[in-house]
Every structure is written in structure tokens, then in C-alpha cells.
Amino acid sequence: DSGVTQTPKHLITATGQRVTLRCSPRSGDLSVYWYQQSLDQGLQFLIHYYNGEERAKGNILERFSAQQFPDLHSELNLSSLELGDSALYFCASSVAHTGELFFGEGSRLTVL
Amino acid sequence: AQSVTQLGSHVSVSEGALVLLRCNYSSSVPPYLFWYVQYPNQGLQLLLKYTSAATLVKGINGFEAEFKKSETSFHLTKPSAHMSDAAEYFCAVSRNFGNEKLTFGTGTRLTIIP
């Protein structure tokens, strides 16, 4: 158990819909990272938040957005969903300056 | 920009045999390199990391990796494979230690043959 909690574990929805994925980092970790894992793209960095502020953006679509709340949990919002958004979405947290990410078990999104 | 290339998307070894998973990096600055493992239906877990302190890095579960600047490589090895090693392994690179925005390779699925 990494200490990072992601909900829901599985989500099935239709094209055009909007979903929210939630992540609770390990206690004390200020950084939250979101990654997308798909068969064709592999593991892609989406976005990084540190103590509520956006620190870095990767290959995140404009239809996707994220935020980190004062209690440090984070949400990834995916809207106008397309078939190609079907993937495993991972959240990871870290203590700064250790080089180590702690990953949750992921949220598997299926868009039909 | 940094990147890593993992040679071989699938590797099969017999139980008790040497495990060798290959990773080559491309970086304009000295990189920080990592190996992560992903067991089925789980998130990724750090195996080991290179942060320039020592070229031979030992990790968990008997794995180790050697940083070779001349070959731009960071291959992962284990002397004797165990059935429990069956998983997907990812090499990753970061430009700055402490900046945990990692760029991952495409992964190598390791199968252990009984």
C-alpha cells in the first residue's frame, strides 16, 4: 500500500460526458502528479501540483483540468470525453527532493 | 529534452536465470534515472534510483542497475529470476533531482518461465 488513494477504481461512461477522478496523497506529501497510461501512448505526464499551485503541465488536453485543494487532495476533471480518453489514470505524490513518486492504484476509465 | 528508450517490450527468462532489462537515456545534462515496477492491477513502485552518488545502484528485491555514461545506459539486472518478478518494468528520467516530473520509457514486460 503506497498510501495514495484514488477513487473511483473503475468508471464506465459515454462519449461527451464529464467525469472527475479524485486523489488523496500520502500524509505529508505536498506534491501531486497525474499520469495517463494507455496501450498506445504509454505513461504520459499530465500535470503537477505543489501545495495547491500548478507547477508543471505535460501533455494535458484542454478538455482536461485539475486542481489541488487546501487539504492537498487533487481532482482531475475530464470533459467532452472521447473514445481515445479510455485509459488508466494514475495519481502520484512525493516528498520533495527524494526523487521518488508514490503511485496510487489508478482509476480505469472506459469511454463507450 | 530528456528521454529514455527501453529495448524489448517483452523479455522472458527462466526461473533462476539472469534478468537483464535494457534502458538507454538521452539527456543534454546529467540525468537522474529511475526504475519502477508495476505488478498487475497495481500502481508503480520504485525499484531504485541513480542520483550520481554511485554508478552501481542497488534496489529492492535483489535488483541493481549500473549507470554507464559512455554508453548512455542504465540497464537493470538481477542474478537469479524468481516467479514473483513477473511484472512490467519502466525506466524513467528526470532533469532535476527533486523535480519529480518523470519521463517514462515504454516499459518491458518480464515473464518468468518455470
Reported as a single tens digit per residue, the pLDDT across A12-45 is 999 999 999 999 999 989 999 999 999 888 899 9
CA atoms within 13 A on the CB side of A93: 24
Q: What is the pLDDT of residue A24?
A: 97
Average pLDDT of chain B is 90
Q: What is the pLDDT of residue B20?
A: 98
Q: What angle do CA A36, A42, A44 make, to 5 degrees?
A: 40
| Beta bridge mates, A53 | A50
Residue A100 has pLDDT above 90, yes or no: no
Chain B: give the shortest CA distance to residue A64, in Å. Answer: 18
Chain B residues within 8 A of A58 when measuring between CB atoms: 101
Whether residue A25 contacts residue A73, with contact meaning beta carbons closer than 8 Å, is answered with: yes
| Residue A106 backbone zone (phi > 0: left; psi -120 to 50: alpha; other: beta) | left
Mean of pLDDT values over B60-68 = 95
Reported as a single tens digit per residue, the pLDDT across A42-99 is 899 999 999 999 998 988 999 999 999 999 999 999 999 999 999 999 999 987 666 7
The single residue listed with the C-alpha cell 473503475 is A10
Subunit contact A94:B42, Cβ cutoff 8 A:
no
For residues A2 and A27, give the distance between their C-alpha atoms in angstroms, rounded to a whole number.
11
